[in-house]
Amino acid sequence: MASLHPLYNTNTIFCVVSILFFSLASSLQQHLDIDNSEGQKSELFPEILRDEAVGRLNELGQVTDAQGYLERTFLSHASVRAGKLISKWMEDAGLTTWVDSLGNVHGRVGGLNPSSKALLIGSHLDTVIDAGKFDGSLGIVSALSALKVLHKNGRLEKLRRPVEVIAFSDEEGVRFQSTFLGSGAIAGILPVSSLHIRDKSDVTVQDALKDKSIETNEDALLRLKYDPESVFAYIEIHIEQGPVLESVGLPLGVVKGIAGQTRLKVTVKGSQGHAGTVPMSMRQDPMPAAAELIVLLESLCRYPENFISYSGQCDASVVESLKGSLVCTVGEISSWPSASNVIPGQVTFTVDIRAMDDLGRVAIIYELSNRMYQVCDRRSVSCLVEPKHDANAVICDTGLSSQLKSAAYAAVKKMAGEDVGDVPVLMSGAGHDAMAMSHLTKVGMLFVRCRGGISHSPEEHVLDDDVWAAGLAILSYLETQM
């Protein structure tokens, strides 16, 4: 038998074969990795949960009553257009839609058991003046995107309970200075007298509804309330409106609770007169009185420990809680007749007070009111402090929060391809429709990271991938309901 050439001995042949084998194996593994990557990506549904969702948020952000900025208040022309757009997206997700007698837009799927208790998912379609495009809208769009994924995959009807998405007509309370008109009606906490509240144009809520061909009377308003026995839970996805998630570098957080809030209207009346002829010593000017009241509010809220005594129910722990969570704002001020050469006869301003501790918030309002009346007496003007809105703090359901936390964790892990740590648990200083809905059923919330924590501003911004994460988290939660 002929011998091998020295260049092709047994060891050499073994090495060549080994190289070829490992090269082939590496190529095969690389091919498999590509297939797995593409398969994993398709399971994340970016074309619906991110691309389409972001497009819809941008589209809603253009639906406005104002020129050059976003403004969409209760039952305005833009609000009605936004509702029709949302209704179309609900139908696209396979939902049956309707608009109720307070302008809330509903979309519902019955699932396997249409008579079972329903899961409600919602947020608001109205905005503040000069708003950002994510507040409220993100929760509606993300929920519809998740349901659309199930619809496209033929799984929507496999939900074991009905799921209903509600786009509430009013949460911000801009037009009628009364928050939660939409969700309050569903929860059954909206008084029938709300139909007769007037806006700055002297139009009542009932008039505004009639103008949009919605006939509502007191009986119809009462019928809007959902039966608590027909509801399983309410969940809401919302931008954080704070900086915590951005600071920890994570897109989602679960909400533990929502601060209580009170809104007041303060009216200060004095003597109207000529700016050039009334001596300073003889004036009863409500403007400097109002200024002193506003500075008093700021001092009280910055340093509550200097104003509240440790007695009765307001102990040291309550005051300590206030120091960490109490915030107070004067967001609107007006005078009459509002002329540069006239001492005003009346000054009106709003007060917004929020705190995690309800007892502390009540103590602050009591102390503020007493001191305001003292200031007005000293300045020989009259003042009236009127409550316009009051909502106790809300603690989210622990079981529901745990499920939402797991869903958020699963979504973020899928997107990152690795474990990125625990999902943060946050408190909310902002009010949400979940506050009203907590009177109807258990509630849970997820927060979505927003740049700089900025909200109620055109600078409000959410990353496209964070919109994606929100939709994927809702989808993950809905999959537990199958």
pLDDT of residue 272: 98
pLDDT < 50: residue spans in the chain: 1-10, 12-40
> Which structure tokens are listed for 348?
């009106």
Q: Would you tell me how many other CB atoms lie within 10 Å of the CB of residue 199?
A: 18
Predicted pLDDT of residue 38: 46
For 44-162, where are the alpha helices, taking DSSP H only?
Answer: 46, 53-60, 77-92, 137-152
For residue 211, with 0-12 CB atoms within 10 Å meaning exposed, 13-18 middle and 19 or more buried, which class applies? exposed
DSSP code of residue 49: I
pLDDT confidence of residue 178: 85
- State yes or no: cis peptide before 286, omega within 30 of 0: no
Asked if 434 and 236 touch (Cβ cutoff 8 Å), the reply is yes
Instruction: For residues 224 and 93, give the distance between their C-alpha atoms in angstroms, rounded to a whole number.
Output: 24
Strand partners, 97: 107
pLDDT for residue 253: 98
| DSSP sequence for 181-206 | HHHHHHHT-S-GGGGG-B-TTS-BHH
DSSP string, 207-269: HHHHHTT----HHHHHHTSPPGGGEEEEEEEEE--SSHHHHHT-SEEEEEEE-EEEEEEEEEE
Going from the C-alpha of 165 to that of each of 249, 284, 381, 441, the distances in angstroms are 29, 54, 50, 15
Q: How far apart are CA 245 and CA 252, in angstroms?
A: 7
Q: In the prediction, which pLDDT does 116 show?
A: 97
